[in-house]
Amino acid sequence: MWKWLHPYANPEVSYHFTGKLIPWFAIISAILLTVGLGMGLLYSPADYQQGNSVRIFYLHVPAAMLSMGLYLGMAIAGLTALVWQMKLAESSIAALAPVGATFTAIALLTGAAWGKPMWGAWWVWDARLTSELILLFLYFGVMALQNAFEDKALAGKAASILALVGVINLPIIHYSVEWWNTLHQGATVSKFEKPSMSIDMLRPFLLSLFGFAFLAGTLVCMRFRAEIIERNSMRPWVKALAKEHN
Amino acid sequence: MAFDSINEFFNMGGYGFYVWLSYGFTALLLVLLTINSKGKDKRIFKQINKRIKREEKLKQVAKRNASVKQNAQSDQKVV
């Protein structure tokens, strides 16, 4: 496996490889999101209690899942950067943080717009909501540390440490609905039993989940490439590429 | 189809404001992030090109200064 992975540790190879991935990810994401959200808005049934407000679910839950998944990815990159001193792992932290922060913000905003009609409040200081807000601040912290140092290596190290320490928040978010009394409903999909949802809702949900995941992949690849050229701007291959963009 | 008419679709059983607010927020944030991410490598290439140009200019100035100095020295030798 190392033999296979090794060439991708080369920034130039990774730059061209992710460049090839971007159009495919973008097309897959566009198809899945159009079909998934179209089905969710037009064809999926209304909830027997929540009526048509349940259509926010197809945005809220994928965004929340991605906000946590992207954080986990960022923390693994942080570990790789600290232990194996891999420069590309630092680039991927810088690429993942803004995308993850955006999905966290979407989860919080759509949650507020769903909470108002269902709970009667845009916001409550409840365990699930508060821990997700802390996730947003962790993302902001990683982004701020990334830009706080002139020296990119030092910035990468500081951001990696924060990303790793913040992992403790992920199980807190996930189990918050069980550990504390909360307004937020329990898990419907991410549990070991069968999802407690009709197949007519599960299908558009899964399609939009993968659609958003591929969109996140597209955006992370774009930012990753920009990070690579910024960190290797003295290399001849980057200078040659820059000449083409003149 | 879960709705009978286009009006019913926009109304969302009375939840229209909240549903469309959510979809609007999501679209807005993702469009902004996409624009920012898509243009990022081009901005950095522009910075790199600017730096290369500046370095080349400095090199030329240094070369010219060196040749001026050389000329001045050879002139002194003639005198």
HEC profile for A212-233?
A: HHHHHHHHHHHHHHHHHHHHCC
Helix (H, G, I), strand (E, B) or coil at A187: coil
Average pLDDT over residues A148-171: 92
Tokens (6 digits) for A197? 């949802």
Which amino acid, one-letter code, is at B13?
Answer: G
Contacting residues of B for A53, CB less than 8 Å apart: 12-13, 15, 18-19
Is the CB of residue A26 less than 8 Å away from at least one CB of chain B? Answer: no
How far is CA B16 from each of CA A54, A108, A120, A228, B37, rounded to the nearest angstrom? 11, 19, 16, 44, 31
Average pLDDT over residues B16-32: 94
Alpha helices by DSSP H, B1-79: 6-11, 16-78
Q: Which pLDDT score, from 0 to 100, does residue A4 have? A: 62
Helix (H, G, I), strand (E, B) or coil at A44: coil
Best probe of the B interface among A16, A39, A55, by most B CBs < 10 A, is A55
| pLDDT tier, B9 (very low <50, low <70, confident <90, very high otherwise) | confident
Looking at residue A151, the DSSP 8-state letter turns out to be: S
Look up the ipTM and state it.
0.89
Contacting residues of A for B48, CB less than 8 Å apart: 229, 233, 238-239, 242
Q: Which pLDDT score, from 0 to 100, does residue A244 have? A: 84
Q: What is the pLDDT of residues B55-74, one digit of tens each?
A: 999 999 999 998 888 888 77
Which residues, 6+ apart, have CB-to-CB distance to B33 below 8 Å?
A98, A99, A102, A219
Q: Which pLDDT score, from 0 to 100, does residue A243 have? A: 86
The beta-carbon neighbor of B33 closest among A44, A46, A102 is A102
The beta-carbon neighbor of A51 closest among B13, B41, B48 is B13
| pLDDT tier, A219 (very low <50, low <70, confident <90, very high otherwise) | very high
Helix (H, G, I), strand (E, B) or coil at A57: helix
Nearest Cα to Cα of residue A156 among A222, A78, A226? A78
Q: Is-contact A221 A25, C-beta < 8 A?
A: yes
Most confident by average pLDDT, A39-43, A134-138, A188-192: A134-138
Closest-CA distance of chain B to residue A162, Å = 23
Nearest Cα to Cα of residue A103 among B33, B39, B36? B33
How far is CA A118 from each of CA A112, A132, B22, rounded to the nearest angstrom? 10, 19, 14
Model's pTM, two decimal places?
A: 0.89
Average pLDDT over residues A102-121: 93
Question: Cα A97–B20–A46 angle (5° rounding)?
Answer: 105
Q: Is-contact A131 A169, C-beta < 8 A?
A: yes
Average pLDDT over residues B30-42: 93
Cβ burial B7-30 (10 Å sphere, 16+ → b, else e): eeeeebbebbebbebbbebbeebb
pLDDT of residue A3 exceeding 70: no
- Give the total residue count for chain B: 79
| pLDDT tier, A131 (very low <50, low <70, confident <90, very high otherwise) | very high
The beta-carbon neighbor of B22 closest among A51, A113, A215 is A113
The beta-carbon neighbor of A59 closest among B23, B37, B42 is B23
The pLDDT mean for chain A works out to 90
Q: What is the pLDDT of residues A54-83, one digit of tens each?
A: 899 999 999 999 999 999 999 999 999 999
Cβ–Cβ gap B2/A59 under 8 Å: no
Cβ–Cβ gap A239/B46 under 8 Å: no
d(CA A81, CA A160): 7
Q: Which residue has the tokens 């005198």?
A: B79
Higher pLDDT: B18 or A8? It is B18
Best probe of the A interface among B5, B30, B56, by most A CBs < 10 A, is B30
Tokens (6 digits) for A109? 């905003």
Q: Which pLDDT score, from 0 to 100, does residue A171 have? A: 92
Q: Which pLDDT score, from 0 to 100, does residue B72 have? A: 81
Higher pLDDT: A152 or A132? It is A132
Looking at residue A182, the DSSP 8-state letter turns out to be: -
| pLDDT tier, A8 (very low <50, low <70, confident <90, very high otherwise) | low
Contacting residues of A for B36, CB less than 8 Å apart: 98
Average pLDDT over residues A10-18: 90
Q: What is the pLDDT of residues A170-208, one digit of tens each?
A: 999 998 888 887 788 877 776 667 667 788 888 999 999
d(CA A111, CA A109): 5
The beta-carbon neighbor of B2 closest among A37, A42, A114 is A42
Closest-CA distance of chain B to residue A1, Å = 31
d(CA A100, CA A219): 10
